[in-house]
A and B are shown apart, each in its own frame.
Chain A
Amino acid sequence: MDVLTVCPYCGVGCGIYLRVREGRVDAVFPSLNHPVNRGSLCAKGWSVPFFLNHPQRARHPLIRKGNRFIRASWDEVLDFVAEKLSEIKEKHGPDAIGVLGSAKCTNEDNYLIQKFARATIGTNNVDHCARLCHASTVAGLIKAFGAGAMTNSIEEFPEADVILITGSDTANQHPVIAKWIVRARKGGTKVMVVDPRRTPLARIADLYLQHRPGTDIAWINAFLKIIIEEELYDKKFIEERTENFEKLADSLRDFSLDWASGVTGIPLSLLREGTRLYAKAERASIVYAMGITQHVSGTYNVVSLANLALLTGNVGKRGTGVNPLRGQNNVQGASDLAVLPDVLPCYQKVDDPDVRKRYSELWGVEIPSNPGLTVTEMIHSSGEKIRAMYIMGENPLLSDPDINTVKRKLGELDLLVVQDIFFSETAELAHVFLPAASFAEKDGTFTNTERRVQRVRKAIEPPGEARADWRIIADLSNRLGYPMNYTHPCEILDEIQKVCGIYAGITCDLLENSFGVRWPYDGKSKEGTSYLHGKRFKTKSGRGIFHAVDYLPPPEEPDETYPFIMTTGRSGFQWHTGTMTRRTPNLEREAPEAYVEINPKDADSLGIKDGDRVRVSSRRGEIELKARITGGIMPGVVFIPFHYKEAAANLLTGHFLDPISKIPELKVTAVRVEKC
């Protein structure tokens, strides 16, 4: 039997079939006709069955007794958690409880977990790992366009004349989107990459600009300045569709291109060449990912890219736009459905009384008015303001910056509940561990990076006593006195499409014989909306808004003691904290150990040879790992993938936050490199 579902790894959302034999998934293969992947998968997608069948999959609920975990029944653990949560709520108030949803879980799981936080517990302390990847996208694009999502669709890449890729190692992180870009290029599309690392796509690009990490606003402003200077902007579009152009132009009057070239490290001639390539294109598309977002200036980096698109009229038509590639398979959905502390489903501000009134009526309970804490804030106030945390499907102990502090803080909680498919590093600190069903063992929907809501289908039974996340939450909520009587995720989706406008009309019936529908769904087109902002922007005025953005240097500049900039990222063969991929033999073989990429010049002056063990330290910690010498990274910069607990890059990163989106600075950390 072959069951059509969605790849659980990245936000591309490839359509896959799981082949079931005797109750086990023993093969996976891509759909040939799926509009996203058309017969392709990346190495991660091809190895999905491994983690599903892994003997370490969590099978039973566990409860801590002293230093050990012992098996308990579902009734016991849920009663215990319910009792503890009520106790803490009574004693410290609902805001002493924090809840983390998960971009790996379904829309239905996530909708329920935020409803659980808000309606059952009574707090807006609910967030998820999007805080660490695209919080700044949501904040930035809402400022400029009024909607925090990829403006255009994957299928449109071949229609672009130019694709500008920045801060995205697309070939490794969104491989099947790289397929579209490579094929577009074969069809005549020009590809330009701006990135501190010479990524695989940079190697085959028509133009490659290498800039210093953290200087994005400088090169983007240079682009804007050159466009205005050379009058390459789209006057008609600016007049009819935007506001605040004058403000932007004013802010750039004294902007020095020489200075920008110096700060970014990009020669002025290349800045001009790049600008012209982008601005002169009939249709130009911007693609970006965490190289743009994970900075203290993350929101403004995104806003700057939006400026670029608005200035050249590259929004609101096919083959253009500002296109954030979302990391996790369902980070779009988890954000849409408000696993975020300041909004209710569909990005409706929780501090707006009208919005609150509507939801209070819908959910039959008063919604708390004060925006809650973010992931990072919750963790850092653990043991103080926050007394209990409920973590569904996340592993902050490895994914969040400054691990030592995270570990200490989580250890100070009165109650830590972790719900996951494997007993993760974070679970080791938990009081209660709840085994969850994986994507292959439950029904629901995921929303991919291009807003495509797709059906996730149950192919097999969960291992042991593991249960679907939505069911665990509902059971717990019932115990806490707020009834959640759903019998199937389709009922939850039905509620979602009623309360959240962008999901309106998207039901299980609609998704049944389909490869998914991109929100918003107009009730007609088979695959939903291809691109946003066609006639109006989603802002109040309906216009795209320019913002004057000043360059903000990264919080840590290299100095004598820490002379290098460390930037972090991922390997194409591991996934985040490795809970699934490190248990997958062919992926683990391909990327078995941590390494630091270093330029040959730097290696030479430090006396480091390829393969040597080196120590990398920052103001917060140190790790030892292998040196990989490559010309793909500029002198003065080193790169470390963050997957490996034996050399966790996040021991080094700090907790400097973007003041607007609260995303941490993960791309620029001052470090020292020495031979061990």
Chain B
Amino acid sequence: MLKINVQALRKITGAFLEEGKTVYAPRHLGMGDFAFDRIENPDEFQIEGFVNTLLPPKEIFFRQMETIGRFGWKEEGLCEDVEPEIEDKVLLGIRPCDLEGLLLIDAFYDRVDADMPYKRRRKKTFIIAYACPEPADTCFCVETDSGPWAKRGFDWQLHGLEEGIYLLEVGSEKGRELADRFADLMEKAHDGDLELLEAKRKETLGKFKKRPYIKRGIGNIKKVGEEVYRYLGDRCFRCGGCNYLCPTCTCYNVADIGTRRGERVLFWDSCQFEGYSRLAGDLNLRPDQGSRLKFRFECKLAEWNTETYGRIRCTGCGRCIYTCIGDADIDLFLKKASET
């Protein structure tokens, strides 16, 4: 392990920016709100002092709404594709749950042969993860094996020792190369640092709310009765937030906006909408909200996920819990599932 402080990190970020890389990092928007966004200068980022950003960094690759084509009749049959910008990217400060989310979306796209903006953007991304020191009470990554520190998928991972001082863990060949390149901005970690890290990790784990029902609930998923889904279905008001904010949701829809002149847009979709599963003639595979919730929970937690992806597709980020405008979140579901 190496050791680095925040000033050095800013210098390195400055170097990245100078080389023309685009850097995405959390930024304080004011009043305690943080967002992952493109930064223009190295002073702009703030990686600690908050739990996580509201939008998962998946938004950088898989946009909430993006134009993929333009058309127009008047403009002599205008019909053109709009290509996503491809940049050399650095993702700085991504949390372990969200990193695991990206890896799961990668795996999803590895299975399909579509030329999606996500795939193009995802190439050439240098990932600097940040191990979480302090969970929110909605976080449960410890139960889903995706945090509070990352075990895979990063080039570097930062572990806070004290404010502004981190241990830097190298996680890839590319990471090794860059660590060598910036060697004069880092030092070797001492035994004392590693001991401190161990103590910090223990402390962090102790801060998680105990949720023994999560693993039990996941184990029971096949057995959950219809009455649980009906109960939750009555408590979902169809905002779509649980899907929009989920770092592993991949669903999108494509629509043409405008008639004579307009754009083809690709945008986030949610399986919680009635229209998501509506077929011609108003047939619906999932006619009530309970069946839609069942579909969502199975998409995240059912066994076939482990067969296909090697793990469940919930990374315990907790976003679908706090954003729910009803009372139909995954935590409540797993509580109920654990009781069946």
Contacts and interface: CB of A to CB of B under 8 A. Distances in A.
Contacts of A583: 257
Given A179-B326, A586-B275, A55 B263 contact: yes
B31 to A, nearest CB: 6
B232 to A, nearest CB: 11
A37 to B, nearest CB: 9
Interface in A10-50: 17, 19, 26-34, 38-43, 46, 49-50
Contacts of B54: 29-32, 39
A316 interface: no
Interface of A: prevailing SS: mixed
Contacts of B241: 40-41, 46
A33 B32 contact: yes
Contacts of A365: none
A611 B326 CA distance: 28
A172 B237 contact: yes
Interface string B303-340: 00000000000000001001111110000000000000
A27 B65 contact: yes
Nearest to B70: A55
A513 interface: yes
A552 interface: no
Given A2-B29, A33-B32, A43 B240 contact: yes
A27 B64 CA distance: 6
B238 A586 contact: no
B37 A19 contact: yes
A540 interface: no
A203 interface: yes
B29 A27 contact: no
B9 interface: no
Q: Name the residue in A29, A182, A590, A592 with the highest tally of chain B Cβ atoms < 10 Å from its Cβ.
A: A29
Contacts of A38: 322
Interface in B196-222: none
Contacts of A176: 325
A216 B174 CA distance: 71
B327 A186 contact: yes
B35 interface: yes
Q: Name the residue in B34, B238, B265 with the highest tally of chain A Cβ atoms < 10 Å from its Cβ.
A: B238
A611 B283 CA distance: 11
Contacts of B33: 4, 17, 31-34
Interface string B215-257: 0000000000000000000110111110010000000010101
Contact of B269 (A39, A40, A200, A586): A586
Nearest to A589: B275
Contacts of A396: none
A171 B237 contact: yes
Contacts of B37: 1-2, 19
Interface residues of B, number: 48
A590 B66 contact: no
Interface in A37-68: 38-43, 46, 49-50, 53-56
Contact of A54 (B29, B257, B275, B326): B257
Interface in A513-560: 513-515
A179 B325 contact: yes
Contacts of B106: none
A26 B323 contact: no
A175 B327 CA distance: 12
Interface in A188-207: 200, 203-204
A619 interface: no
Contacts of B16: none
B261 interface: yes
A483 interface: no
Interface string A602-622: 000000000100000000000
Interface in A136-186: 171-172, 175-176, 178-179, 182-183, 186
Nearest to A45: B239
A262 interface: no
Given A26-B63, A54-B258, A586-B273, A46 B35 contact: no
A572 interface: yes
B59 interface: yes
B282 interface: yes
B34 to A, nearest CB: 8
Contact of A178 (B273, B319, B322, B326): B326
B30 interface: yes
Contacts of A40: 239, 241, 322-325
A353 interface: no
Nearest to A611: B282
Contact of A50 (B238, B257, B322): B257
A545 to B, nearest CB: 37
B274 interface: yes
Contacts of B30: 4, 513
A460 B306 CA distance: 44
Contacts of A514: 31
A182 B326 contact: yes
Interface in B14-46: 27, 29-35, 37
A585 interface: yes
A451 B267 CA distance: 34
A33 B258 contact: no
Contact of A182 (B235, B259, B278): B235
B55 interface: yes
B257 A55 contact: yes
B255 A56 contact: no
A191 B265 CA distance: 42
B240 A26 contact: no
Nearest to A204: B234
The 3 closest A-B pairs by CB, nearest first: A55-B258, A589-B275, A585-B255
Given A40-B322, A55-B257, 14 more contacts: A27-B59, A27-B65, A39-B319, A41-B241, A42-B237, A43-B240, A46-B241, A49-B65, A171-B237, A182-B235, A204-B234, A204-B235, A514-B31, A586-B240
29 contacts: A2-B37, A4-B30, A26-B65, A30-B323, A32-B322, A39-B319, A40-B323, A40-B325, A41-B239, A41-B241, A46-B244, A50-B267, A53-B65, A54-B258, A55-B257, A55-B262, A56-B258, A176-B325, A182-B327, A204-B235, A204-B327, A513-B31, A572-B237, A585-B257, A585-B267, A586-B240, A589-B253, A589-B273, A589-B275
